Amino acid sequence: MPKPMLEAKNLTMKFGNLTASNNVSFSVDKGEIVSLIGPNGAGKTTIFNCISGFYKPFSGRVYFEGKDITGLSPYKITSMGLTRTFQIVKPLKEMTVKENILTGAFLRASSRSEAEKIADEILKITHLSEKKDVLAGSLTTADKKRLEIARVLATKPKMIMLDEAMAGLNQTETKEAMELCLNLNKQHGITLLIVEHVMEAIMPISNRVIVLNAGEKIAEGSPEEIVNNEEVIKAYLGERYHAKSKQTNRRV
């Protein structure tokens, strides 16, 4: 059996008396799209922070392509090919869209012209070419979310962890974001771990879904298994999402 691309083993994270993640284990195989869902405060972003090097877990280990990356710096982890976006997007507002992307591209590029080449390619993939000279601060929410993905793409990742890249988008923009995810996965071979509350966007594109509640993993399975799981419905999905319903998520 090939090793998983990402493996989180018994991750626990505490903030004072609060256990934000409690003994969470899961893995993601190369080429998969896996979603991590759960109520507000369930510990999803905390898990991303532990995996991407922004927090050092209280206990547990993280392996990427079989290598122990626990406690390495975010820069080191990104340079190994694992990167993440932020729930609160942080574009460099006074820089243009292209300049923002260039900041990511310099991780791999050895010259300005090589970085420009990478940035132009990413602008095309993310449909931002027409806005390349616009200041990032003046973009719409949807374009800021798109730029967040573009910036991490410029680091040429093997795997991206997306933290609510679809929050606040309208239906058309959500559909475009889903298409971008599928394109990155299918055409560019990028493995995705997606944190999202927009169920109708992620259920159709996920191979597997992992559910957190109050810091603990409570379920894992195919989208169909998850939407029919009584414990998940009780803890999170409630009446707002069923496999056949078109209901929107509760946050936006």
53 Cβ neighbours under 8 A, 6+ residues apart: 69, 71, 72, 73, 74, 75, 76, 77
Q: Is 237 in the site for ligand ATP (CB under 6 A)?
A: no
Dihedral sign computed on CA atoms, order 113, 118, 124, 126: negative
Angle at 213 between CA 202 and CA 194, to 5 degrees: 25
How far, in Å, CA of 205 to CA of 182, rounded?
7
Q: Is residue 215 a contact partner of residue 24, using CB atoms and an 8 Å limit? A: yes
- Closest distance to ligand ATP from the beta carbon of 231 (Å): 17
How far, in Å, CA of 116 to CA of 102, rounded?
7
Q: Is 46 in the site for ligand ATP (CB under 6 A)?
A: yes
CB nearer to ligand ATP: pick between 50 and 154: 50
Considering CB under 6 A, how many residues would be counted as binding ligand ATP? 12
CB nearer to ligand ATP: pick between 100 and 206: 206
CB nearer to Mg ion: pick between 1 and 88: 88
Judged by CB under 6 A, the residue of 12, 25, 87, 248 near ligand ATP is 87
- Closest distance to ligand ATP from the beta carbon of 52 (Å): 13
Q: Choosing among Mg ion, ligand ATP, none, which partner's interface includes residue 40 (Cβ < 5 to 8 Å by kind)?
A: ligand ATP
Judged by CB under 6 A, the residue of 8, 11, 43, 229 near ligand ATP is 43
CB nearer to Mg ion: pick between 98 and 197: 197
Q: Is residue 91 a contact partner of residue 151, using CB atoms and an 8 Å limit? A: yes
Q: Is residue 68 helix, strand or coil?
A: strand
CB nearer to Mg ion: pick between 46 and 70: 46
Q: Is 168 in the site for ligand ATP (CB under 6 A)?
A: no
* Exposure of 136 in the CB half-sphere (CA atoms within 13 A): 22
Of the candidate spans 38-46, 93-101, 228-236, 238-246, the one that interacts with ligand ATP by CB under 6 A turns out to be 38-46
Q: Is 248 in the site for ligand ATP (CB under 6 A)?
A: no
Token pair recorded at residue 238:
């409630």
Q: Choosing among ligand ATP, Mg ion, none, which partner's interface includes residue 41 (Cβ < 5 to 8 Å by kind)?
A: ligand ATP
Checking DSSP bridges between strand 208-213 and strand 216-221, what pairing results, if any? antiparallel
Q: Which residues bind ligand ATP (CB under 6 A)?
A: 15, 18, 20, 38, 40-46, 87
